[in-house]
Amino acid sequence: MGAYALKPDIRVIAPWREWDLDSRQKLLAYAERHGIPIEAKRAGSSPYSMDANLLHISYEGGDLEDPWQEPDETVWRWSVAPENAPDEPEIIELDFENGDACALNGVAMSPAQLLKALNETGGRHGIGRTDIVENRYVGMKSRGCYETPGGTILLRAHRAMESITLDRELAHMKDDLMPRYARMIYNGYWWSPERMSLQKLIDDSQATVNGRVRLKLYKGNVIVCGRKSETDSLFSQDVATFESDTGSYDQKDAEGFIKLNALRLRMRN
Amino acid sequence: MGAYALKPDIRVIAPWREWDLDSRQKLLAYAERHGIPIEAKRAGSSPYSMDANLLHISYEGGDLEDPWQEPDETVWRWSVAPENAPDEPEIIELDFENGDACALNGVAMSPAQLLKALNETGGRHGIGRTDIVENRYVGMKSRGCYETPGGTILLRAHRAMESITLDRELAHMKDDLMPRYARMIYNGYWWSPERMSLQKLIDDSQATVNGRVRLKLYKGNVIVCGRKSETDSLFSQDVATFESDTGSYDQKDAEGFIKLNALRLRMRN
Amino acid sequence: MGAYALKPDIRVIAPWREWDLDSRQKLLAYAERHGIPIEAKRAGSSPYSMDANLLHISYEGGDLEDPWQEPDETVWRWSVAPENAPDEPEIIELDFENGDACALNGVAMSPAQLLKALNETGGRHGIGRTDIVENRYVGMKSRGCYETPGGTILLRAHRAMESITLDRELAHMKDDLMPRYARMIYNGYWWSPERMSLQKLIDDSQATVNGRVRLKLYKGNVIVCGRKSETDSLFSQDVATFESDTGSYDQKDAEGFIKLNALRLRMRN
Amino acid sequence: MGAYALKPDIRVIAPWREWDLDSRQKLLAYAERHGIPIEAKRAGSSPYSMDANLLHISYEGGDLEDPWQEPDETVWRWSVAPENAPDEPEIIELDFENGDACALNGVAMSPAQLLKALNETGGRHGIGRTDIVENRYVGMKSRGCYETPGGTILLRAHRAMESITLDRELAHMKDDLMPRYARMIYNGYWWSPERMSLQKLIDDSQATVNGRVRLKLYKGNVIVCGRKSETDSLFSQDVATFESDTGSYDQKDAEGFIKLNALRLRMRN
């Protein structure tokens, strides 16, 4: 889809669909015949279908095609099982700038460096395994196992960062649109006009998402321990406090607020 | 809000707003004066603000009002820390009927019994702690720590159950509306007409959500190990298989599918 | 799409795609050869592509394929031009029950009778012509001219009926979902699970949509003149009045309402 | 709300709520006492509550408080009744640049000039009257009559312009968000972060909305007669044609497209 969007007259060759390489076995035989090395071949059976990039590695096919069957421990390549992760938690800190993670434990990194480092750290702590049945764009359900240690940490950290820097209604609007954004990307519409326009909204929302998040990594868990922003915190202890009413929030205002919000509910009876 | 919806002419008394009990300290003094016992008082400081029901217990106030400060281990009451949970995982199975969990390990239970059992089991495995900064309806951000062991397990299990029984587009529509549904409840609109009409959509979507989910509980993790449905599975190994093209899904169809979906992208250039 | 949903193993025959009848001219020749009468043939050119049912008639193709070109007056078959409609307005009244129009000028009618009657009345007054460029599901834009006299009147009347009987938030939720509902139907997903679940929400919302609407039809205009509901009006003159504050709405409540709604806006600065 | 957003510590004075000027009659007496002239006083009754700006004028109160009662012809100030509009239609052309109307009949105008000109032209043709029951933010329903001749013409023209220049999915996303955008503005949230971020999406979507629209104004009707764009038309006669299949759209692709879109519907049975 992306290729067509970028170069409308491109010719796409899909060997599985257009040639006769329409099964895993035929592809393996073709590779063997032409001396193409295949990683992770398994005796007596084809390897899982794997895709990998900086963000994730995925596994499909083989015995994973029974969604009642737990994936064998030998499937996973980027992470240890939570049971085999260290007994000691590790504390990390991530800095965000305009919604992008830019430093790990105070060390500035490029996005690629940072994701790579989080993949390693997260994988060591058993973080980021996902085992799902997903809905393919072409119409069928499919079982996939994923490892995204860095992505899992970033997602948790980013939302914690947003929790004190993003306005409530902006956050809600973003939440409402998030599944739609995810669908666009999952289905191949990265280079579509709708994704690009929606990106403008999201990028604008991130201007205030600046600060630091502290996380504890422990046997599969990513635990948020703290979040702060010197420049953009919308959290005000003075307003939020439960201790007294000397703060700038006037409890008396709540009465009119509740009564008018309830007006339409009261009029229905 | 609920009271006004159910009985429009009700008189709501809010001591904090209407009387002079407008601080934690005044409330404690009032309780002491009138012999009302207060659980979990802490020497030299007021207890956290706690709310509890079958689904959750929450903590706010005191030193939690600094969102950079990790909650002290003494805060939590329903769960152990993941570090203190058993070294052995526990496998459980949950059965669903019309989207509702109805049996734990094959034993039929009422919703209340089941949630209570999952709270105990989950809490024992360090599951369900959440530490967030939330957006109150009255306009300010507030830091809250929650324990929802049973709810955490149910959420994970329910989505796994839906993953093989819910149609893709129905699932997507439900995802798009989920944050809106959550807001209605968070803000007090359970008895509103919009929540009740939206419920009809959700209830209808759950008619096929029947089957069994197997989960592994381990030191804070809820890991989906399997899901199956004798009656309503939309997962078809025959259609989804990667192994060959003898199945009922015709790879050739993908060409026209992709080309027409790409048509509008190609015409923009 | 509907046929596949209702009978998964049905065989669909699409002559245009599968046989060699892949142009308007070939279809006309085929019809002539086999003695099939074609209505509205035009000398020297093929007729418009027309579809008609109780709700609408549509025209595409021919000189309409230039969207800068106004459709010739000879295109239209169900309505007169506004310029040729009577100089005297006509007042009609429509009754609604659970959101469905059920009577015209006090005479109970079946949905089909009512739509037929409104098509005639509306068409006589030049109502319901639409000339649009639409977005086909298969990816291209296409120019279509439509006549929907009855539908145009019903849409206007129904929204007027809702305006006094539908709760604000329910109305807003319905508005947010309306384009989605329309897309489902336009693209052929009437028998999809997402349409059927969404219908439950809509049907439930219509339980209170009961009453009468009065409309003036005049040279293309459908003008709402009045709406009332004996049983379900949420409009209360006592609450809405501008004349004094003796009503049940207390202006004082507005202060707290506005101040708390503004709180998050004030805290951003 | 806007004042609070722009200057958090501003002091808002609301005479109706805070002073004793809490009725129409008191306000009139106050004005008379202080020599403040009141336009449109009516003998024996207070004038309607009117607000006017470049975009609209609104009327509320008095006999309009009965939503079954048609507004008297004397209410309206900016437009003639359709019945009293000229018997001759008037054709106008509007040019758009990045979604904004920038010229009327080929004459470049500022937005304010253009809106003013359309208000006059539209009002002369009986265009832009609306009579609705609306949902106030403070919770009650209220009947309002509006005149927006220019706005009515612009809305119709803008959507016609978009119909050939806006990508389908971008248009659908915008449609889905439009009621939300309208609510933000209606409720006073123009200066909110959610409106400003959403604006980025909308502004980005308008980059291609360039071209010309031709409209016919006639006795209350705004009829789209043509739309074209030299630079950004997504309408392709070559692709859309019904006349033959020599175009760039291959009917054969539709088979795979339909079959894969129907796959999930077929698997439910």
Contact C91, C216 (CB under 8 A): yes
**Amino acid in position A168:** R
Q: What is the pLDDT of residue C252?
A: 83
Q: Which residues of B10-21 are buried (b: 16+ CB within 10 A; e: fewer)?
A: eeeeeebbeeeb
The alpha carbon of residue A169 is apart from the nearest alpha carbon of chain B, in Å, by 9
d(CA A264, CA D140): 6
What is the spatial distance between Cα C210 and Cα C99, in angstroms, rounded to a whole number? 6
Distance from CA of B66 to the nearest CA of D (A): 24
- Residue in chain B closest to C257 (alpha carbons) equals B138
Question: Which 3 state secondary structure label does DSSP give A82?
Answer: helix
Whole-number Å distance between alpha carbons of B107 and B174: 29
Which residues on neighbouring strands pair with residue B217, listed in sequence order? B90, B222
* Alpha helices in C91-233, H assignment, sequence order: 111-124, 149-165, 168-186, 193-205
- CB < 8 Å to A132, chain B: 160, 163, 224
List the one residue out of B71, B19, B49, B61 whose CA is nearest residue B38.
Answer: B49
**Separation between Cα atoms, residue D143 and residue C160, nearest integer Å:** 11
Q: Quote the tokens at residue D232.
A: 């950004």
D252 → closest Cβ in B239, B254, B256: B256
The pLDDT of residue D240 is above 80 = no
Q: Which residue has the higher pLDDT, B203 or A239?
A: B203
Picking from A5-14, A54-63, C18-27, which range would have the lowest pLDDT averaged per residue? C18-27
Q: What is the pLDDT of residue B199?
A: 98
Contacts of B194 in chain C (CB under 8 A): 167, 169-170, 172-173
What is the model's pTM?
0.95
Contacts of D247 in chain B (CB under 8 A): none
CA dihedral D11, D16, D20, D25 (to 10 degrees): 150
The predicted pLDDT at position D238 comes to 76
Q: What is the mean pLDDT of residues A108-136?
A: 98
- Do residues C260 and B139 touch, judged by C-beta distance below 8 A? yes
CB-CB under 8 Å, D196 with A201: no
- CA gap D83, D69 in Å, rounded: 19
- Check residues C67 and C252 and name the one with the higher pLDDT: C67
The three-state (H, E, C) secondary structure of D49-107, written as one string:
EEEECCCCEEEECHHHHCCCCCCCHHHCCCCCCHHHCCCCCEEEEEEEECCEEEEECCE
What CA–CA distance (Å, rounded) separates B184 from C106? 40
Q: Largest Cα–Cα distance in chain A? A: 80
- Give residue A243's pLDDT: 57
Confidence band for A26, pLDDT divided at 50, 70 and 90: confident
Q: What is the percent of chain B where pLDDT is above 90? A: 78
Identify the chains in contact with B, defined as 3+ C-beta pairs within 8 A: A, C, D
Closest CA to A148 of A99, A65, A220: A220
Question: Which pLDDT score is estimated for C248?
Answer: 61
**Which chain B positions have a beta carbon within 8 Å of D141's beta carbon?**
none
pLDDT of residue B41: 63
Tell me how far apart the alpha carbons of residues A200 and D198 are, in angstroms, rounded to a whole number. 8
pLDDT tens for each residue of B100-128 = 999 999 999 999 999 999 999 999 999 99
Cβ separation A139–D201 shorter than 8 A: no
The H or E element that residue B144 is part of is strand B141-147
Q: How far apart are the first and last CA of chain B?
A: 53
- The helix/strand/coil state of C92 is strand
| pLDDT, average across residues C89-116 | 98
Which pLDDT score, from 0 to 100, does residue C28 have? 84
Residue A68's pLDDT band, with cuts at 50, 70 and 90, is very high
List the single range of A14-18, A75-79, B74-78, B257-261 with lowest mean pLDDT.
A14-18
A212-255 residue pLDDT tens = 999 999 999 999 999 999 999 999 877 766 555 445 677 788 98
Q: Which of A211-220, B198-207, C192-201, C233-242 has the lowest mean pLDDT?
A: C233-242
So what's the ipTM on this one?
A: 0.93
pLDDT > 70: what percent of chain B? 94
Q: Searching chain C, which residue's CA lies closest to the CA of residue B165?
A: C193
State the pLDDT at residue D229. 98
pLDDT of D146 > 70? The answer is: yes
Under 8 Å CB pairs connecting chains B and D tally to: 54
- How confident is the model over D160-202, as pLDDT tens digits? 999 999 999 999 999 999 999 999 999 999 999 999 999 999 9
Task: Give tens-digit pLDDT for A131-163.
Answer: 999 999 999 999 999 999 999 999 999 999 999
Side-chain half-sphere exposure of C222, counting CA atoms within 13 A: 28
Residue D232 predicted with pLDDT over 90: yes
Question: Could you give the angle at the alpha carbon of D28 between the alpha carbons of D23 and D32, nearest 5°?
Answer: 150
In contact, B73 and B67? CB cutoff 8 Å = no
Q: Do D220 and C220 touch (CB under 8 A)?
A: yes
Kindly identify which residue of chain C lies nearest to residue D142, measuring between CA atoms. C240
* Tens digits of residue pLDDT in C59-80: 999 899 999 999 999 999 999 9
Q: To probe the interface with D, which of B192, B259, B269 has the most D CB atoms within 10 Å?
A: B259
- Please tell me the predicted confidence (pLDDT) of residue A203: 98
What is residue A178's three-state secondary structure?
A: helix
